[in-house]
Amino acid sequence: MNYNFTEIEKKWQDYWEENQTFRTPDLKDIDKSKPKYYVLDMFPYPSGDGLHVGHPEGYTATDIVARYKRMKGFNVMHPIGWDSFGLPAEQYARKTGIHPEISTENSISRFRKQLKSLGFSFDWKREVATSHEDFYKWTQWIFVKIFNSYYDDEAGRARPIEELPVPPGLVEKERKDYVNSRRLAYLADVPVNWCPELGTVLANEEVPEQVEKGYTVVRKNMRQWNLRITKYAERLLNGLERLDWPSNVKELQKNWIGKSTGASVIFEIDGAAGRSGSVEIFTTRPDTIYGASYLILAPEHKLVKEITSEEKADEVRKYIEDASRKSDLERAELAKDKTGVFTGSYAVNPVNGKKIPVLVADYVLVSYGTGAIMGVPGHDERDNEFARKYSLGIIPVVAPEGLDDEGLREFSRKTVSGEECFTGEGVSVNSGMIDGMRTPEAIEAICNWLEANGKGRRTVNFKLRDWLFSRQRYWGEPFPIVHLEDGTIKSLSNDELPLVLPETAVFTSGASGEPPLANAGEWVNISDQETGLKAIRETNTMPQWAGSCWYFLRFLDPHNTNEFCSKEAERFWMPVDLYIGGMEHAVLHLIYARFWYKVLYDLGYVSYDEPFSKLFNQGMILGEDGVKMSKSRGNVINPDDVIKEFGTDSMRLFEMFMGPLEATKPWSTKGIEGLNRFLKRIWRLVIDEETGALSSKIADDCWDESIIRLINKTIKKVTDDIEDGDMKFNTSISYMMIFINELYKTERFSKEVIEKFILILSPFAPHIAEELWSRLGNKPSIQNVPWPEYDPELVKEETVTIVFQVNGKVRSKLDMNAGTSEKEIEDAALDDEKVKKHILGKQIVRIVTVKDKMVNVVVK
Tell which one of 373, 520, 556, 814 touches RNA (CB under 7 A).
Answer: 373
Number of residues binding to RNA, judged by CB under 7 A: 86
The helix/strand count (H/E) of the chain reads as: 30, 33
- Our finding on whether 363 is near RNA (CB under 7 A) is yes
Letters for 198-217 (x = contact with RNA by CB under 7 A, - = none) are ------xx--x---------
Least gap, CB of 684 to RNA (angstroms)? 7
Least gap, CB of 342 to RNA (angstroms)? 18
- Is 106 or 635 the residue whose CB approaches RNA more closely? 635
- Our finding on whether 668 is near RNA (CB under 7 A) is yes
Residues 6+ apart with CB under 8 A from 766: 12, 67, 119, 121, 649, 782, 783
- Is 238 or 664 the residue whose CB approaches RNA more closely? 664
Least gap, CB of 856 to RNA (angstroms)? 4
Tell which one of 666, 695, 704, 776 touches RNA (CB under 7 A).
Answer: 666
Residues 6+ apart with CB under 8 A from 502: 517, 520, 522, 523
Rounded to whole angstroms, how far apart are CA atoms 592 and 548?
A: 9
Q: Per CB under 7 A, which of residues 254..273 are in contact with RNA? A: 255-256, 258, 260, 262
- Our finding on whether 779 is near RNA (CB under 7 A) is no
Least gap, CB of 403 to RNA (angstroms)? 21
710, 754 contact by CB (below 8 A):
no
Tell which one of 328, 420, 425, 704 touches RNA (CB under 7 A).
Answer: 328
Q: Per CB under 7 A, which of residues 45..84 are in contact with RNA? A: none
- Is 208 or 407 the residue whose CB approaches RNA more closely? 208
Q: Per CB under 7 A, which of residues 283..302 are in contact with RNA? A: 283-285, 298
Q: Which stretch binds RNA (CB under 7 A): 426-434, 487-495, 496-504, 671-679?
A: 671-679
Q: Please spell the DSSP secondary structure of 74-132, one letter per residue.
A: -EEE---EE----HHHHHHHHHH---HHHHHHHHHHHHHHHHHHTT----GGG-EETTS
Rounded to whole angstroms, how far apart are CA atoms 414 and 696?
A: 87
660, 618 contact by CB (below 8 A):
no
- Our finding on whether 4 is near RNA (CB under 7 A) is no
- Our finding on whether 618 is near RNA (CB under 7 A) is no
**Sign of the CA dihedral 681, 685, 690, 694?**
negative
What three-state secondary structure class fits 807? coil
Q: Per CB under 7 A, which of residues 448..467 are in contact with RNA? A: 461, 463
Letters for 374-403 (x = contact with RNA by CB under 7 A, - = none) are --x---x-x---------------------
- Is 284 or 613 the residue whose CB approaches RNA more closely? 284
Quote the longest CA-to-CA distance of the chain.
Answer: 109
Pairing of strands 340-348, 398-399: unpaired
- Is 507 or 654 the residue whose CB approaches RNA more closely? 654
Q: Per CB under 7 A, which of residues 545..584 are in contact with RNA? A: 583
What three-state secondary structure class fits 729? helix
- Our finding on whether 348 is near RNA (CB under 7 A) is no
- Is 693 or 810 the residue whose CB approaches RNA more closely? 810
- Our finding on whether 734 is near RNA (CB under 7 A) is yes
805-to-827, 831, 849 alpha-carbon distances in Å: 13, 13, 10
Tell which one of 15, 74, 215, 368 touches RNA (CB under 7 A).
Answer: 368
Rg, C-alpha atoms of the chain? 34
155-to-152, 235, 600 alpha-carbon distances in Å: 5, 12, 16
Residue type (1 letter), 667: W
Q: Which stretch binds RNA (CB under 7 A): 155-163, 312-320, 513-521, 663-671?
A: 663-671
- Is 88 or 666 the residue whose CB approaches RNA more closely? 666
Q: Per CB under 7 A, which of residues 467..506 are in contact with RNA? A: none
Residue type (1 letter), 437: M
Tell which one of 566, 660, 708, 751 touches RNA (CB under 7 A).
Answer: 660
- Our finding on whether 338 is near RNA (CB under 7 A) is yes
Tell which one of 741, 784, 817, 821 touches RNA (CB under 7 A).
Answer: 741
351, 446 contact by CB (below 8 A):
yes
Rounded to whole angstroms, how far apart are CA atoms 11 and 14?
A: 5
